[in-house]
Every structure is written in C-alpha cells, then in structure tokens.
Amino acid sequence: MVITEENVLAAPCGIYCGECLAYKAKDNPELVEYLAARGLKSEKLPCPGCRKGQGDCPALGSDCETYACVDRRGIDFCHECPVFPCTMLNPAADRANVLPHNIKVYNLCFIKEQGLAKWLENAPVIQKKYFQGKMVIGKGPQLE
C-alpha cells in the first residue's frame, strides 16, 4: 500500500490518528495546554500522527512498540501479519472509556475486508459510536 496524505492518519494498529486530541491540537492551541496539564509533553504536541512521527506517540510518552513491530516486519497494518491478532492488540477494560484501543481489531478487520478508503470514510463515526454509543444487544453500539 502506498501511504498518501489521504491515508497517513490510519495507524498500523487500526487507530485513526485524525480523531486523537493530540493530533487535533494542531488546530486548537488550547488543547496543547489541556493535554500538557494531563501529563503529555507539550514539546511533542501537536502530534503529526504515528506514521509521520514514526511511532513516537505523545500519548505513550515513548515509542510505540506496535508501530516498531509493523515497521520491522515491513507491513503497513497489523492485519497483514501472519500472527494477527497478537497480544499487543488484546483489548483491556483499563481506560477503555478514554482510549480507543479496544476498537483496533474491529478497525483492522474492517480495513482488511472493506478497504482503507471505506474505513477512512467511516472512522470518525466508528470512534464516535465507541465513545458515545449506547450498546443495544444484537445491534451493537447505537447513536441516539
């Protein structure tokens, strides 16, 4: 896959960097102050996205091991790996209400089956359903 300006915010792990507050700080200087007050290093803000930043994630405070793994394997997305899904993609309840990491496997499967362009069209809504949706058994998260 060719990484372009249109798809560069699609992280190898299935996160959409374009919805991250650290990335959105590029258009809102007040977000830099807000995030710095919560422990992110202001000199790393705004974040350019993990591909442009080569895995140096301000939210982690260090280099992303998942990014390094994908880079080392010479693939673009985790779903291309022969050991997908691996333990680095295992969801956890810890901070699930504030971090979108539990939707990575869903996103990667979406990209694999329906393509990156279609996922990029839907990524903001997918993330909105994750954070704001109400779970309806048998229907999944619904936006009111």
How is the chain split into domains, by residue range? Answer: 17-142
Which among 15-24, 41-50, 103-112 has the top mean pLDDT?
Answer: 103-112
Distance between CA atoms of residues 38 and 107, nearest Å: 27
What is the C-alpha end-to-end distance of the chain, expressed in Å? 36
Distance between CA atoms of residues 135 and 100, nearest Å: 16
Distance between CA atoms of residues 34 and 45, nearest Å: 11
Residue range 114-129: mean pLDDT, rounded: 93
**Two structure tokens written together for 19:** 């919805």
Answer for the pair 17, 44: CB distance below 8 angstroms, yes or no.
no
Answer for the pair 35, 17: CB distance below 8 angstroms, yes or no.
no
For residue 25, the number of C-alpha atoms closer than 13 Å in the C-beta half-sphere is 24
Kindly tell me if the per-residue pLDDT of 6 is higher than 80. Answer: no
**Two structure tokens written together for 144:** 């009111």
Confidence grade of residue 43 (pLDDT, cut at 50, 70, 90): confident
Q: Could you tell me the pTM of the whole model?
A: 0.85
pLDDT for the residue numbered 136 = 92
DSSP 26-91: GG-HHHHHHHHHTT--GGG-S---TTTTTTEETTTTEE-HHHHHHHHHT-SSGGGSTT-S-GGG--
